[in-house]
Chain A
Amino acid sequence: MRIERINIEEIKDVREGVDLALLDPLIEKFRDKKGKMIPLLQGTQDIYGYIPREAFEKISGETGLKLSDMFGVATFYAQFRMNPVGKHIVKVCHGTACHVQNANSITEAMQEALGIDDGETTEDGMFTLESVACLGCCSLAPVMMIGDDTFGKLTGTQAIRIIKEIRKKELKQNQPD
């Protein structure tokens, strides 16, 4: 059932560091439009990477949408997140083609390499691991997507190597010259 996707207790109450002014142009754009709820939530997620609690409250206050309706919609669709996500979102495809080509082994390798479970974010805020239904690159199964890059015909070892390379790059960037 779809509501199971979100564990309410896990939703963190992040009150700091959210710049609500960023929402203003979005709210203006959709204020009088019919069917605005989903585009507003999608737009909010585009801004923050997730939908912060106070964004729900602000949108509700300014547009008259009911909080309960908004939460109902946000928990119904797979796209919406209520928690901050890592810098890199690792999406492991679990479509049919990937499943028969052993996508589980990719997820297992990622869980081991990142030390997190499906749906969680690493403590350093670098990676979020997700399983997705189908990325539509079935001929390259098994597939995973990190950011906009798609990696196909993977093995667990290759997938771990990709993560290691990203980590290496990040380390380099963070080191002062």
Chain B
Amino acid sequence: MEQTKVIVGLGSCGIAAGAKKVYDRIKAEMDAEGLDFELKKTSCIGMCYREPLVEIIDENGSYLYGDIDEKRAVEIIQKHVSQHNPVKDYVVQTELFETSDNDFVKPQVKIVLRNCGYIDPEKIEDYEARSGYRAIRKIAAERIARLDVIQTVINSGLRGRGGGGFPTGLKWKFANDNKADEKFIICNADEGDPGAFMDRSVLEGDPHSVLEGMIIGAYAIEATGGVIYCRAEYPLAIKRLNIAIEQAREKGYLGKNILGVEGFNFDIYIKEGAGAFVCGEETALIASVEGLRGMPRKRPPFPAASGLWKKPTNINNVETFANIPWIILNGAEEYAKYGTDRSKGTKVFALAGKIKRSGLVEVPMGISIRDVIFKLGGGIQEDKKFKAVQMGGPSGGCIPDSLSDTIVDYDSVNATGAIMGSGGMVVMDEATCMVDVAKFFLDFTRKESCGKCTFCRMGTTRMLEILTRITEGKGEEGDIQKLEELAYEIKDNSLCGLGQTAPNPVLTTIRYFRDEYEAHIRDKKCPAKVCKSLLTYEVIPDKCTGCTLCAINCPVDAIDGERKGIHFIRQEDCIKCGMCFTKCKFDAILTY
């Protein structure tokens, strides 16, 4: 009989939710009781909403336990491992019986995430045991021609997963066409979109798949050097990448004459990004790797002709690289079976916001947004009304409920005014103000604009001023039109993707939620009750206990009332700071 395995998910999310304590507790329990089982670590299992997660694999199969704290950890070890009696109440997913969360897993097709949650990311043997490095071994053993590798990637229909959606194989072909003594391959791991964490999960959970993808790319375009440009905000990902690179060198997957292929010399180093959203743009990223300010430059020349240190350079995103080994091993046709006509394969999404099951999912292209949110995501928290989903971060837009039958595919999502982006899906409900969301993104892009193009630098500032005015109740007739005019000017007159897409959040919210803008401007009301300056605060007499807390905390003394008596807000003096609402312990402040 095989030894029982206990696996703890130790990704960033898991650790934040307390998984390290759970791991230590299980270890202590194991040592104290002299129990015989194998305790393993893995990274993100995807069900972030159930963290910390512990999987137990016994002779019957796999049981995934969710919401495990130290106490429950001891309980499942005692009952399941020692007494062979699974604690069904805590099992969130298994193939052995129906559970609440099985439908989170069923519609998923795991290609990019094929190893996430299954392997210990710090052990190269774990990766190798699941067909890891078999793709590059196959290429080396069969001496597959470089052009054939590129053709396979072209045939698979894989498009850039960083958001641009440019066909990966073609990009490789261009880089291959340019001959030079040195060439570079760069992995863009500067996941800058607020609300996206796909790349972090892949890097933390399966770093070798990204390395193998890069090694295959290097073989195909004859690159000599590799760089992973990773955000400094992802310390765990950087740590695990460093371990993985060291292991790959030891095993001869990196270095000189790799796997016996004469002249195939390639090595990878990590470059820590210093925090600039614009560095997601290829030429800005290259400037940053060179140690300069991350300012984009005019193209052409494209990086494929003149990139890092003026040498031909190919840049792909983390998720793109993680797809490559699978495609080489299973074939382009197998990959192209998934997806739609023009968007092949799968896409990883990070579900977040007002959704019941936030986490990481990988679905075949062509699935509807509604299915992702309601079938996999379980719907909206507290069963509130679904309003919109934000896709593509600051470059994307808000897709309203009425368009949620839109399918996940580059062209269909583009048609809504949003973009596929790197895969963040932030779900919003009726309590989210769309003007406030637009303002949030404009504030972000304004700060992140590098300042090179006037329209991006000044235009985003002016747009933000107008939006701020609207949310403060000082909106004027004609503001919507001004916003639209500025938006198109910025799009037309900016050099790089940041400026060209920065107005998207405003344009999509105007397009689909114009009534909310109008309510702010004309009626001076925020329908979602988010914009504080537009709210009216009143005491609900039945609920007021006369504790005086609101009156004490009111910064302008606009609240009257005796101790133990009902309080009253003088509207003419109220500055709408919301302090009374925050401070009241009895929900006695009404807002409308």
- Interface set of A (CB-CB < 8 Å, partner B): 1-5, 34-39, 41-42, 69, 72-73, 76-80, 94-97, 99-101, 105, 132-141, 143, 148, 150-152, 156
Q: Taking each of A34, A37, A133, which has the highest tally of chain B beta carbons within 10 Å of its own beta carbon?
A: A133
Q: How far is the CA of A41 from the CA of B353 in the complex (A)?
A: 35
The answer to whether A76 and B13 touch across the interface, beta carbons within 8 angstroms, is no
The answer to whether A35 and B197 touch across the interface, beta carbons within 8 angstroms, is no
A47 to chain B, nearest CB (A): 15
The answer to whether B275 and A79 touch across the interface, beta carbons within 8 angstroms, is yes
The answer to whether A2 and B447 touch across the interface, beta carbons within 8 angstroms, is yes
Interface of B is mostly: mixed
Chain A residues, CB < 8 A from B450:
2, 76
Nearest residue, chain A, Cβ from B394: A96
B19 to chain A, nearest CB (A): 11
Chain A residues, CB < 8 A from B393:
96
The answer to whether B292 and A97 touch across the interface, beta carbons within 8 angstroms, is no
Tell me if B194 counts as interface (CB < 8 A to partner A). Answer: yes
A-B contact pairs, 8 of them (CB 8 A): A39-B272, A78-B274, A95-B194, A97-B353, A138-B196, A139-B48, A139-B49, A141-B352
Tell me if B288 counts as interface (CB < 8 A to partner A). Answer: yes
Chain B residues, CB < 8 A from A36:
291
The answer to whether A150 and B233 touch across the interface, beta carbons within 8 angstroms, is no
The answer to whether A42 and B428 touch across the interface, beta carbons within 8 angstroms, is no
B181 to chain A, nearest CB (A): 15
Q: Contacts A1-B446, A139-B352, A141-B352: A134 and B195 contacting too (C-beta < 8 A)? A: yes
Contacting A96 at CB < 8 Å: which of B275, B353, B451? B353
0/1 interface trace, chain B 273-295, chain A, CB 8 Å (1 if under): 01111000000000011111110
Q: How far is the CA of A75 from the CA of B580 in the complex (A)?
A: 39
Tell me if B448 counts as interface (CB < 8 A to partner A). Answer: yes
Nearest residue, chain A, Cβ from B274: A77
Nearest residue, chain A, Cβ from B436: A99
The answer to whether B390 and A96 touch across the interface, beta carbons within 8 angstroms, is yes
Q: How far is the CA of A151 from the CA of B461 in the complex (A)?
A: 33
- Which parts of B85-144 form the interface with A (CB within 8 Å)? none
Q: Taking each of B234, B353, B393, which has the highest tally of chain A beta carbons within 10 Å of its own beta carbon?
A: B353
Chain A residues, CB < 8 A from B592:
none
Q: How far is the CA of A152 from the CA of B589 in the complex (A)?
A: 27
Tell me if B552 counts as interface (CB < 8 A to partner A). Answer: no
Q: Taking each of B235, B352, B447, which has the highest tally of chain A beta carbons within 10 Å of its own beta carbon?
A: B352
Q: How far is the CA of A97 from the CA of B353 in the complex (A)?
A: 5
Tell me if B508 counts as interface (CB < 8 A to partner A). Answer: no
Q: How far is the CA of A99 from the CA of B60 in the complex (A)?
A: 44
Nearest residue, chain B, Cβ from A148: B235
The answer to whether B291 and A140 touch across the interface, beta carbons within 8 angstroms, is no
The answer to whether A35 and B290 touch across the interface, beta carbons within 8 angstroms, is yes
Q: Contacts A35-B290, A94-B194: A138 and B274 contacting too (C-beta < 8 A)? A: no
Q: How far is the CA of A99 from the CA of B461 in the complex (A)?
A: 20
Q: Taking each of A95, A97, A105, A156, which has the highest tally of chain B beta carbons within 10 Å of its own beta carbon?
A: A97
Nearest residue, chain B, Cβ from A78: B275
Q: How far is the CA of A36 from the CA of B293 in the complex (A)?
A: 13
Contacting A76 at CB < 8 Å: which of B232, B272, B293? B293
Q: How far is the CA of A94 from the CA of B440 in the complex (A)?
A: 9
Chain B residues, CB < 8 A from A35:
271, 289-291
Chain A residues, CB < 8 A from B432:
100
The answer to whether A34 and B275 touch across the interface, beta carbons within 8 angstroms, is no
Q: Contacts A95-B194, A100-B437: A42 and B233 contacting too (C-beta < 8 A)? A: no
A5 to chain B, nearest CB (A): 8
Tell me if B17 counts as interface (CB < 8 A to partner A). Answer: yes
Q: How far is the CA of A99 from the CA of B427 in the complex (A)?
A: 12
The answer to whether A79 and B232 touch across the interface, beta carbons within 8 angstroms, is yes
Q: Contacts A79-B274, A80-B274: A132 and B195 contacting too (C-beta < 8 A)? A: no
The answer to whether B292 and A73 touch across the interface, beta carbons within 8 angstroms, is yes
Nearest residue, chain B, Cβ from A135: B233
The answer to whether B276 and A136 touch across the interface, beta carbons within 8 angstroms, is no
Contacting B233 at CB < 8 Å: which of A72, A132, A143, A152? A132
The answer to whether B449 and A2 touch across the interface, beta carbons within 8 angstroms, is yes
Q: How far is the CA of A76 from the CA of B278 in the complex (A)?
A: 11
Q: Taking each of B15, B195, B432, which has the highest tally of chain A beta carbons within 10 Å of its own beta carbon?
A: B195
Q: How far is the CA of A105 from the CA of B351 in the complex (A)?
A: 22
Q: How far is the CA of A36 from the CA of B292 in the complex (A)?
A: 9
Tell me if B166 counts as interface (CB < 8 A to partner A). Answer: no
Ranked nearest first, the 3 interchain pairs of A and B with the lowest CB-CB distance are A139-B48, A78-B275, A96-B195
Nearest residue, chain B, Cβ from A153: B17
Tell me if B173 counts as interface (CB < 8 A to partner A). Answer: no
Nearest residue, chain A, Cβ from B16: A150
Nearest residue, chain B, Cβ from A141: B352
Q: Contacts A77-B274, A139-B49, A141-B352: A37 and B193 contacting too (C-beta < 8 A)? A: no
Tell me if B586 counts as interface (CB < 8 A to partner A). Answer: no
Q: How far is the CA of A37 from the CA of B291 in the complex (A)?
A: 5
Chain B residues, CB < 8 A from A96:
193-195, 352-353, 390, 393, 424, 426, 440-441
0/1 interface trace, chain B 496-532, chain A, CB 8 Å (1 if under): 0000000000000000000000000000000000000
0/1 interface trace, chain B 244-287, chain A, CB 8 Å (1 if under): 00000000000000000000000000011011110000000000
The answer to whether A138 and B276 touch across the interface, beta carbons within 8 angstroms, is no
In the complex, besides A72-B293, A96-B194, 17 extra interface pairs with C-beta distance below 8 angstroms are A2-B276, A35-B291, A39-B272, A77-B274, A77-B294, A95-B194, A96-B441, A97-B195, A101-B354, A133-B275, A134-B196, A134-B233, A136-B12, A138-B196, A138-B197, A139-B13, A140-B16
The answer to whether A77 and B276 touch across the interface, beta carbons within 8 angstroms, is yes
The answer to whether A95 and B13 touch across the interface, beta carbons within 8 angstroms, is no
Chain A residues, CB < 8 A from B276:
2, 76-78
The answer to whether A137 and B291 touch across the interface, beta carbons within 8 angstroms, is no
Q: How far is the CA of A101 from the CA of B587 in the complex (A)?
A: 19
A89 to chain B, nearest CB (A): 13
Q: How far is the CA of A148 from the CA of B391 in the complex (A)?
A: 29
Contacting A101 at CB < 8 Å: which of B17, B353, B457? B353
The answer to whether A2 and B195 touch across the interface, beta carbons within 8 angstroms, is no
Nearest residue, chain A, Cβ from B13: A137
